[in-house]
Structure 1
Amino acid sequence: MSESGERYVSAVTRPHIEPGRLFIGGQWRVAESKGRRDVVDPSTGTVITTVAEADAADLDAAVDAARGAFEGWARTPGRVRARILHRVADVIREREDELVAVESVDVGKPVTLSRAVDVATAAEEYEYYSALAQSVDGATRQIPVPSHAYTRREPLGVVGAITPFNFPLILSSSKIAPALAAGNTVVHKPAEDTPLSALLMAEILAEAGVPDGVVNVVTGGGAVGEALLRHPGVDKIAFTGSTRVGKLAAAVASQSLKPVTMELGGNAAQIVFEDADLDKAIGSVIKGFVFNTGQFCMGGPRLLVHRSLHDTVLEILSQAVAGVPLGDPFDPATVIGPMTAARHLENVETYVAIAREDGGRIVTGGERLELGGGYYYKPTVIAGLANDSRAVQEEIFGPVLTVQSFDTEDEAVELANSTAYGLASGLCTNDLARAHRVAARLQAGIVWVNDWAMLDPAVPFGGVKQSGYGREYGPEGLEPYTKVKSVVISLA
């Protein structure tokens, strides 16, 4: 590891992430469980620190703390909640260097990405929902009987937030910020591989003035997540993760009729039409599949290119992709870091092997990069696969791009919609009418035109088909954290 890397590692081995402690009721508590879990630096394969493996008693304590804090937080005026959430955004920016350090060493994310995307976005999420906290309003309704009728939007209660390993800071903030804005309290279970920013954010939320018990953090593996899904004291589940686990989570939550929002897997297509600006299109294509080392549910791992451009695009990609800086995430020049865990690296290798068996041609990449014991895989472009290959149809979740050709607009849309997923999609064209026409036909929660991963807290995203249901971001992202009550007063 570089000297800068050593400095980042030292930044996360601090008392606020002391092994064995959980954040419950506004306090750092030693977990009742004696279980511990190692947290590994994916750039070296070495252990950074350990965290608690929470058990049922720990989870009960966290839910009790959230329930105890709920009434007071729910009755806190929206303007007061707004000020506190805005202060959270301020403290995130003040402690930017710490958050960058934690996110990069925990996830293997390049520091430039952690700073410009993850930390910046988390601050913007709290800032955006601080504004909406002041406008959680109902409406009056005109009815024919002599009465005064109106609706109220009220918080649900205790929200169980279960978040994934790839964007731990962003995807926890996208749940906690609207939940708090609406007046709910939260028990957060971060991913077992990447829990460190959740622990640091607990400290930041407290510093910003979030009252004790309003946000609680329990660390651990799948058993803790399942217990949170089943807990009778939890009123709603907000989940981001794989489609496989999401189906299990929805089934468990349904047993107690908990409302659930699910942001699940994706396998988006990037369509490059014959009239596209090729320089811009190539940049969008590369960003779409190497962003966050391909560990991005809204990534674009399937390239559909017009047949007239197919060979030209492959030639450009063979040179350009091999030149994308890959290596030490603590080097500011790095664009692609390691995979977050060894099992994710092995999963990518499995799919590339499947592609080879199915007749795929490796245009570039296709193998590990041996570097300092880390979990590195070279960005890979594969051509010549049939559409029914598992390497095309299934979510690889790594820096792998498959390339297919098409002849007509209808064929492009059919190929784009041919998988079980529907989280994101995109196209490159200079024809404005085509952009609108194709966007309307793509089965996805968000469609990007002439670029990739254009995200903002004001613009909702979410899945269709096997990519889940519910929306995050925008006013639409606040609604799942509220319930509507109608009040009708007789005037007779």
Structure 2
Amino acid sequence: MQEFQHYIAGRFSDGVRQFDSLDPSTGSVWARMPDAGLEGVNEAVDAAERAFFDAEWAGMLPTQRGKLLYRLADLIGENAERLAELETKDTGKIIRETSAQIAYVAEYYRYYAGLADKIEGAHLPIDKPDMEVWLRREPIGVVAAIVPWNSQLFLSAVKIGPALAAGCTVVLKASEEGPAPLLEFARIFDQAGFPKGVLNVITGGAEVGATLTSHPKVVHVAFTGGPETARHIVRNSAENLASTSLELGGKSPFIVFEDADIDSAVNAQVSGIFAATGQSCVAGSRLLVQASIKDVFLARIKEKAEAVVIGAPNDMATEVGPLCTERQRETALLLIERSLAQGASLITGGAPLEGDGYYFPPTILDCSDARHADSLTQEFFGPVLSVVCFETEAEAVELANKTQFGLASGVFTQNLTRAHRMIRAIRSGVVWVNTYRAVSPIAPFGGHGLSGHGREGGLQAALDYTKVKTVWLRTSDEPIPDPFVMR
């Protein structure tokens, strides 16, 4: 039994209480986690506020902040194996994915390390001859960062990296479902040499989240999760008038035209929906395939889905591991049963695997005759693919945009002009053409509609953690005229 602690004001401490964390591959308790409670939230926010105004951080040159972020990136690389093992143990994500992803997480911190001294203001060509006016970009203050359990080291990096590069301080709330990797990350962060309180890492349930997002000292909330929780956060932020950036769920269309490279499209679709056991906000969960190739394409997808290696997440041979929680498994089964009752037909999968752990096989539903099925509108957060065929490009666009979400989309075609038309027509924050799930610290991502607002990654993310101060400097030696003297 392992036990984990919070990281507040540069110290490690127990919460007001503890709770069990389950191993999704067995369903058994493997660790004890701290619950911050109201006391822990207040302590963490106070620590972040002190650090923000303290000269050790507030007076630090941007280049110096960058060097600390470079050091953090190096430490993540040195501890990648331990972080990957913990993430696999606590969330059920397969080791081959956590290992690869954590190695790339370090690149996000390196990107923002290099950006720290490149966040620039501007000189304004003002219309007054005796004035010099310029803009300064300054850090906005204490940031509350809230991330879900899936891809948590990546999702925290795209918040912590730009926030610290800009000079903010952060209270990071890890999900109560699988927080071990971020609590371990706090130990690595502690070694990097940042001033105490610059980053604070806590966890706990809904009470902790509500207290943090409505805290009067928090000026910005960066959240990744579901739309319903986001609604609560927006309501809570009315208390402190905090700004928000919300990266929410998705129901991403994966569109395959008859002229596509079939091998590439099949591989990308299998990876796009069954990798991470479908527990990804950008999962390509809606396959829109042109009618002329539907049978061939579905046969290929079915063959690959049924050949996927399902097993223990810590085995490098495993391709699909368990779902993170029993609740997710129950939700997936309920949505499948409801969609079948609404007219969808089952191609493969459809029921949980027997035995220990929260295993669910790759599942494919043909919804071509059930275009109002719940599986086409609701996010499973599981390895379930819903298929609809289309005849024309216009129909493909209509189907792609028939959702309240708008996070990501994929288009597979060899027709360049068609690709450009689809890029313009699809309402989503990210469009991948002849590829899928590609990411980079240089490229921002985010969504529209129920997929949220704001962008993470890239230069824009760092600017979002700054506020603009306008400076007026009078250059004339003449005294300012008395405003009350008649002239």
TM-score (norm 2): 0.95
Residue 4 of structure 1 corresponds to: none
Match of 1:216, as an amino acid? N
Distance 1:109 1:30 in 2: 26
Give the deviation of 1:242 after TM superposition: 0.3
Give the deviation of 1:108 after TM superposition: 0.5
1:48 and 2:48 matched: no
Residue 276 of structure 1 corresponds to: 260
Distance 1:41 1:365 in 2: 23
- Aligned with 2:240: secondary structure? coil
- Aligned with 2:301: secondary structure? helix
Distance 1:252 1:454 in 2: 34
Residue 209 of structure 2 corresponds to: 225
Distance 1:335 1:249 in 2: 35
Give the counterpart of 2:363 among 360, 376, 380: 380
Distance 1:256 1:217 in 2: 21
- Give CA deviations for 1:315-358 in whole Å, capped at 9, x if unaligned: 11221111011111111011111000110111111111111111
Distance 1:294 1:388 in 2: 21
Residue 119 of structure 2 corresponds to: 136
Distance 2:371 2:427 in 1: 17
Give the deviation of 1:292 after TM superposition: 0.8
Give the counterpart of 2:90 among 106, 112, 117: 106
Contact 2:217 2:240 in 1 (8 A): no
Name stretches of at least 5 consecutive residues in structure 1 with no aligned partner. 1-9
- Aligned with 1:369: secondary structure? coil
Give the deviation of 1:257 after TM superposition: 1.2
Residue 384 of structure 2 corresponds to: 400
Residue 20 of structure 2 corresponds to: 38
Point out 4+ residue stretches in structure 1 off by more than 4 angstroms: none
Residue 167 of structure 2 corresponds to: 183
Give the counterpart of 1:172 among 123, 142, 156: 156
1:194 and 2:145 matched: no
Residue 131 of structure 2 corresponds to: 147
Match of 1:141, as an amino acid? L
Distance 1:309 1:460 in 2: 33
Match of 2:12, as an amino acid? W
Distance 1:53 1:22 in 2: 8
Give the deviation of 1:67 after TM superposition: 0.8
Relative to structure 1, the CA distance from residue 333 to residue 58 in structure 2 (aligned partners, 3 Å threshold; closer, same or farther) is: same
Contact 2:214 2:238 in 1 (8 A): no
Give the deviation of 1:75 after TM superposition: 2.2
Residue 431 of structure 1 corresponds to: 415
- Give CA deviations for 1:28-76 in whole Å, capped at 9, x if unaligned: 1233x2x211111101101111111111111111111111111232321
Contact 1:327 1:336 in 2 (8 A): yes
- Give CA deviations for 1:214-261 in whole Å, capped at 9, x if unaligned: 111111011100000111111110000001111111121123210100
Distance 2:91 2:441 in 1: 22
Residue 209 of structure 1 corresponds to: 193
Match of 2:127, as an amino acid? P
Give the counterpart of 1:64 among 46, 49, 63: 46
Residue 6 of structure 1 corresponds to: none
Give the deviation of 1:26 after TM superposition: 0.4
Give the counterpart of 2:313 among 310, 313, 329: 329
Residue 486 of structure 1 corresponds to: 470
Distance 2:318 2:60 in 1: 45
Distance 1:75 1:444 in 2: 40
- Aligned with 2:203: secondary structure? coil
Contact 2:326 2:358 in 1 (8 A): yes
Distance 1:378 1:224 in 2: 34
Give the deviation of 1:436 after TM superposition: 1.4
Give the counterpart of 2:333 among 334, 343, 349: 349
Give the counterpart of 1:310 among 257, 273, 294: 294
Give the deviation of 1:408 after TM superposition: 0.6
Name stretches of at least 5 consecutive residues in structure 2 with no aligned partner. 477-487
- Aligned with 1:376: secondary structure? coil
Contact 2:226 2:248 in 1 (8 A): yes
Residue 3 of structure 1 corresponds to: none
Give the deviation of 1:434 after TM superposition: 1.1
Contact 2:219 2:240 in 1 (8 A): no
- Give CA deviations for 1:163-205 in whole Å, capped at 9, x if unaligned: 1111111111111111111101111111110111111111111
Give the counterpart of 2:108 among 125, 128, 139: 125
1:25 and 2:13 matched: no
Structure 1 range deviating more: 152-161 or 48-57: 48-57
Residue-pair matches, total: 472
Match of 1:152, as an amino acid? R
Structure 1 range deviating more: 462-471 or 314-323: 314-323
Contact 1:387 1:393 in 2 (8 A): no
Residue 483 of structure 2 corresponds to: none
Alignment of 1:252-291 (within 5 A): 252-291=236-275
Give the counterpart of 2:451 among 467, 471, 484: 467
Distance 1:467 1:318 in 2: 29
1:237 and 2:221 matched: yes
Distance 2:354 2:58 in 1: 52
